[in-house]
């Protein structure tokens, strides 16, 4: 019961990773607002069933939960999600910003609608719910913000310019929230999950390499992500903030931060010609490779 008497909001909690987090938080004593507007992986449609099912499952196990069906992609939606926690449970301690959609397209074909839909759900949605919650956390001097990033943002992935931009933006957002809220005993961290979900199910399987990659990911269920989210929400994690954790099956990784690798200096300053002359023998040796084949994901998930 590591979250006894805490109140948590989990967005996108009707299925997949969000569902597992909501269930495990409830098992550890949290009262949970299960937010899900019931859309498909691309955000289309709406249905109350997924959120209601998780609420009923929590209640059936002796826990306390309430459903919310708002989209996170507006400030009004974020306010209503947090208000659901206040109305049912009187406070809010934990926010897990998990809601997300995919609208993959190569950059030369991506539409404004596809860009806006993904960025609004992931990045603006993370802001909207967090913005509604943190004044209450600041007042009570306690809070946990747990956001979802992705290796698509941290490393890159073909056909996901909208998703990658949103997910890396969430990392920057999380670091600033961690700084802004540190004096109020509120932490903010990111999880980069590797898990088989509806969204991952949209990965192409046209080539043999893609098929192998998908089969590996299928071995990693969303239940592996939930324990890390619960841990980050506890008192035991009070000194952990502004961090990015990867979860890959039974493995938990701490990601590094963007810091300078190497630098070069010229007493006369730089011109394009000087850079062209010196770059090959200096900074070029430290360039990160551009991964166009998904090699980053070629691992044994059972290790």
- Which pairing describes strands 244-248 and 94-97: parallel, antiparallel, or unpaired? unpaired
Give the separation between CA 231 and CA 153, rounded to whole angstroms: 24
- 40 sits in the region (left: phi over 0; alpha: psi -120 to 50; else beta) called beta
Which residues in the chain belong to E strands, given as ranges? 7-10, 31-35, 65-68, 94-97, 143-148, 186-194, 244-248, 251-254
Distances (CA, A) of 220 to 200, 213, 223, 246: 11, 12, 8, 13
Which of helix, strand or coil describes residue 75?
helix
Q: Indicate which residue of 163, 184, 296, 299 is catalytic.
A: 163
- Which pairing describes strands 244-248 and 251-254: parallel, antiparallel, or unpaired? antiparallel
- 68 sits in the region (left: phi over 0; alpha: psi -120 to 50; else beta) called beta
Length of the chain: 303
Contacts of 1 (CB under 8 A, 6+ apart): 28, 29
Distances (CA, A) of 166 to 1, 181, 193: 34, 22, 15
Active site (annotated) includes residue 184:
no
Q: At what angle do helices 161-181 and 112-119 cross, to 10 degrees?
A: 30
Pull the structure tokens for residue 91: 């406070």
Give the separation between CA 204 and CA 219, rounded to whole angstroms: 17
- 242 sits in the region (left: phi over 0; alpha: psi -120 to 50; else beta) called left
Give the separation between CA 220 and CA 197, rounded to whole angstroms: 9
Active site residues: 163
């Amino acid at each position: 019961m590591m979250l006894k008497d805490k109140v948590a909001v989990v967005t996108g909690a009707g299925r997949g990773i969000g569902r597992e987090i909501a269930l495990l938080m409830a098992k550890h004593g949290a009262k949970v607002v299960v937010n899900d507007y019931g859309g498909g992986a691309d955000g289309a449609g709406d249905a109350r069933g997924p959120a209601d099912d998780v609420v009923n499952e929590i209640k059936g196990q002796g826990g306390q939960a309430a459903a919310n069906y708002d989209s996170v992609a507006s400030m009004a939606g974020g306010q209503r999600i947090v208000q659901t926690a206040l109305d049912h449970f009187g406070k809010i301690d934990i926010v897990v910003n998990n809601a997300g959609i995919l609208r993959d397209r190569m950059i030369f074909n991506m539409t404004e609608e596809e860009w806006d839909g993904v960025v609004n759900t992931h990045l603006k949605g993370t802001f909207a719910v967090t913005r509604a919650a943190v004044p209450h956390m600041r007042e009570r001097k306690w809070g946990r913000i747990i956001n979802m990033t992705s290796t698509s943002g941290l490393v890159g992935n073909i056909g996901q310019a909208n998703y990658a931009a949103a997910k890396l933006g969430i990392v920057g957002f999380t670091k600033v929230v961690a700084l802004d809220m540190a004096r109020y005993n509120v932490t903010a961290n990111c999880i980069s999950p590797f898990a088989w979900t509806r969204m991952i199910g949209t990965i192409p399987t046209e080539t043999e390499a893609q098929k192998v990659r998908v089969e590996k990911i299928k071995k990693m269920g969303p239940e592996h992500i939930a324990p890390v989210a619960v841990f980050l929400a506890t008192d035991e994690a009070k000194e952990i903030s502004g961090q990015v954790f990867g979860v890959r099956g039974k493995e938990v990784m701490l990601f590094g931060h963007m810091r300078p690798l190497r630098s070069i200096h010229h007493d006369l300053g730089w011109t394009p010609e000087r850079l062209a002359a010196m770059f090959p023998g200096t900074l070029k040796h430290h360039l990160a490779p551009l991964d166009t084949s998904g090699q980053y994901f070629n691992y044994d998930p059972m290790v």
